Amino acid sequence: MRQPFERAVEQHGATVLRVCRAVLGVGPDADDAWSETFLAALRAWPGLDADTNVEAWLVTVAHRKAIDVTRSSQRRAQPTDVIPEEASTTGLPGAGEHDLWSAVAALPERQRLAVAYHYLGGLPHTETATLIGGTPDAVRRAAADGIASLRRTHGAPERGRAR
């Protein structure tokens, strides 16, 4: 009969911790790998063969968990004490277009919402009509009027109208 899991932790916990510390160094990463090792072992414990060398099996699991911790730490951002001296070039989207956003904000409410939901949000006119009320044709007209107004205030040539 196989021993209870708690007994395996008591007998082999120190060995597993030494393996984790040897691979990862002393610190929270090694402690995390130790915890992950025993969590994985607990899940697999009921299906483990009775004649398995538990210590060797736990060391193998610990080795793999230590590798996982190493890989995940390489994908995480590393904190730094040095702040870059350059200003961010990404900034806020459209930060250089303050006049345009002011013009959008100045549109009548239905036009502003129709432009925002359809052109900026990518919703079809039918869904925009559901959100702001009215028919899809009325929303299409409000969006077209809003875009025409924005083109007039920003000097973009208006497209030819179908008559």
Architecture of domain 5-75: Orthogonal Bundle (1.10)
Q: Which CATH class is domain 98-154?
A: mainly alpha
Walk along the chain (163 residues) in steps of 10 and give the mean pLDDT of each run.
Answer: 80 85 82 90 87 85 84 75 67 60 85 87 87 92 94 68 46
Task: Determine contact, residues 80/105, Cβ cutoff 8 Å.
Answer: no
Question: What are the C-alpha distances in Å from 34 to residues 66, 84, 113, 148?
Answer: 8, 36, 54, 64
Angstrom distance (rounded) from CA 137 to CA 126: 8
Taking Cα atoms as reference points, which of 76, 82, 97 lies closest to residue 28?
A: 76
Q: For the whole prediction, is pTM greater than 0.85?
A: no
pLDDT for residue 144? 95
First-to-last alpha carbon distance for the chain, in angstroms, is 90
Q: What does the domain layout of the chain look like in residue ranges?
A: 5-75, 98-154
